[in-house]
Amino acid sequence: MACPEFEDRLIEYADIEGEARACVDTHLAECAGCREFLEALRVVDTELAARFTGREVSAAFAPAVRRRVEREASARRLSFVPEVLDFVGWGAIVALLGLMAWWVLPLIPAFNTNQAALSLNSALAAGGAFLLVALVIGLRSLADLKR
């Protein structure tokens, strides 16, 4: 067993220097218990260093991770369902606006004279808006898939 007053300094032996080191060395020269303790510390450090120092992953590690991530990505391919619902929702909004225009505008006296032409224009405008929205949503979906 190491002497209690030297035990801490023996554990830090590799880091101490100067006078403190000289003091420990003097003591070691005359204390078998402390010499044995210091030797045991060296055995501990040597064995653990041999076992653990410089450990790295195997060469197969990164490819294995990439394969798993690829499988994960395939399993989580983006669903078209949100985009389709998005498309239907926007389509409904545009169709509703078109219908409202078709119903409401003829009721305004200033527009009565050109009712037929106006209805046709409203339908065309609604259809154009619908196609435009569809195009925007399509492009957005494509960008999401690419990402």
Partner 1 sequence: MEQEIRACLDQKEYREAFERLLPEFQNKVFRLAYAMLGEAGAAEDMAQDVFVRIWRALPGYRGQSSLSTWIYAITRNACLTALRKAGMKREVSMEEPGVARAVEERGSATGAGAGIDVLSFLNQLPEKYQRVLRLYHLEEKSYEEVARLLEWPMGTVKAYLHRARKELAEAIAQGKIERRTS
The C-alpha angle with vertex 15 and arms to 9 and 21, in degrees rounded to 5, equals: 55
- Kindly state the smallest distance separating residue 84's Cβ from partner 1, in Å: 22
Cβ distance to partner 1 smaller for residue 12 or 100? 12
Interaction site with partner 1 (CB under 8 A): 1-2, 7-8, 11-12, 33, 36-37, 39-41, 43-45, 47-49, 51-58, 61-62, 64-66, 68-69, 72-73, 147
Side-chain-side CA neighbours of 134 within 13 Å: the count stands at 11
CB of 67 to partner 1, least distance (A): 10
Other residues' Cβ atoms within 10 Å of the Cβ of residue 9: 19
The sign of the dihedral angle between the CA atoms of 111, 113, 114, 118 is positive
Q: How far is the CB of 116 from partner 1 (least distance, A)?
A: 50
Nearer to partner 1, 64 or 84 (CB): 64
What's the min distance (Å) between Cβ of 77 and partner 1? 14
Select 68 or 104, whichever has its Cβ closest to partner 1. 68
Nearer to partner 1, 78 or 88 (CB): 78
What whole-number distance in Å separates Cα of residue 48 and Cα of residue 26? 28
Counting DSSP H helices and E strands in the chain, the numbers are 6, 0
- If you write DSSP's letter for every residue of 75-112 in order, what string do you get? HTPPPSHHHHHHHHHHHHHHHHHHHHHHHHGGGSGGGG
* Smallest separation (angstroms) from partner 1 to the CB of 13: 11
Of 66 and 140, CB closest to partner 1: 66
